[in-house]
Amino acid sequence: MLLGALISALNGALAKILSEDMSALEIVFFRNIIGVALILYTLKHTPPKLRGGKIHLLFTRGLFGFTAMILFFYTITTIPLGEAITLNKTSPLFVAILAYYLLGEELSRKTAFALFIGFAGIVLITKPFTMAISYEHILGVLGGFFAAAAYTTIKKIKDIYDSRIIVLSFVGVGTLLPALLFLVAPFIQTPESFAFLFPEFILPTTLNIWLLILFMALISTLSQWLLTKAYSSSNLSIIGVISYTNIPFAVGFGFLLGDKFPDMLTLIGIGLIVIGGYLVTKKSSIRRVIKR
């Protein structure tokens, strides 16, 4: 998880660099199509042994993962990298909420308090103190929600699918859907707020961009495999804590790329989200141990 967190932050930095020459959807497309080739090669070399099944959950994981990724990459291009990754890390808070409404799990007072702390952090980062709330920050929070849905799906299928197959569902859907959006983009008119989903496809022409795309695809596929393996383990409380190390990594990378250092309210908001996410993850882990 520590290595995956570092690579994830580096992947965000590369996406921010590429955003100067490419749309967020193009970054998602090229990152995933190369990932498909890499995963297929490993599957050919070492075939999966798990039985498989529940194809609909596999597709759902890919759909949620793609939605989280496009929202994440778009926010990276519009707000500071550290803030974008922090908002994406609200996923543990949403996992607790989804578990309560969809799975009927108990929402204790401690968990409710942790959710309050986490969402207070979101308020401090988005700063909705005027009537105009940042659209990009809202999309960042939605990215965290869909990331939570994707991680929840992993727990449902980790025992029937090889981790590479789970990653393949993610990069596969993340290749096909952008291709479809590129095909229909010339024929539809979209509001400006959704224009990032229907950009014009422009093939990169410089070697420098292709090398950055290839490097990002390699490390992000590795990151997805590491994160999938980490979330498939039983030590979720430890993993939850370590996963937040990608926030200081991202703040550092963003500062090197020209982002302003987070102000005091943003730093407090980041801290509250980390505390809230940790408390939710710790509570969930203790409950699983008790059930065993």
Alpha helices in the chain (DSSP H): 2-18, 24-45, 55-78, 81-88, 91-102, 109-126, 135-157, 163-184, 207-231, 236-243, 246-256, 264-291
pLDDT score at 124: 79
pLDDT score at 175: 95
Q: What is the mean pLDDT of each run of 10 residues along the chain (292 residues)?
A: 87 91 93 89 85 83 92 90 84 74 69 81 70 75 88 79 87 94 91 89 91 88 79 63 80 88 85 80 50 44
Tell me the pLDDT tens digit for each residue of 198-237: 999 999 889 999 999 999 888 887 887 887 777 666 555 5
Tell me the longest C-alpha to C-alpha distance in the chain. Answer: 57
Q: Are 141 and 219 in contact (CB under 8 A)?
A: no
**Tokens standing for 150?**
């994707």
**Tokens standing for 57?**
């959950």
pLDDT score at 212: 92
C-alpha distances (whole Å) from 225 to each of 7, 76, 114, 245 are 11, 22, 29, 18
Q: Are 223 and 8 in contact (CB under 8 A)?
A: yes
First to last CA, the chain: 24
The chain-wide mean pLDDT, for the chain, equals: 82
pLDDT score at 281: 67
- What is the residue-wise DSSP string for 178-224? HHHHHHHGGG----GGGGGGSPPP----SHHHHHHHHHHHHHHHHHH
pLDDT score at 87: 85
For 175-203, b/e burial (b = at least 16 CB within 10 A) is: bbbbeebbeebeeeeeeeeeebbbbebee
Tell me the pLDDT tens digit for each residue of 22-42: 999 999 999 899 889 988 998
Cα–Cα dist 143/104, whole Å: 23
- Entry pTM: 0.80
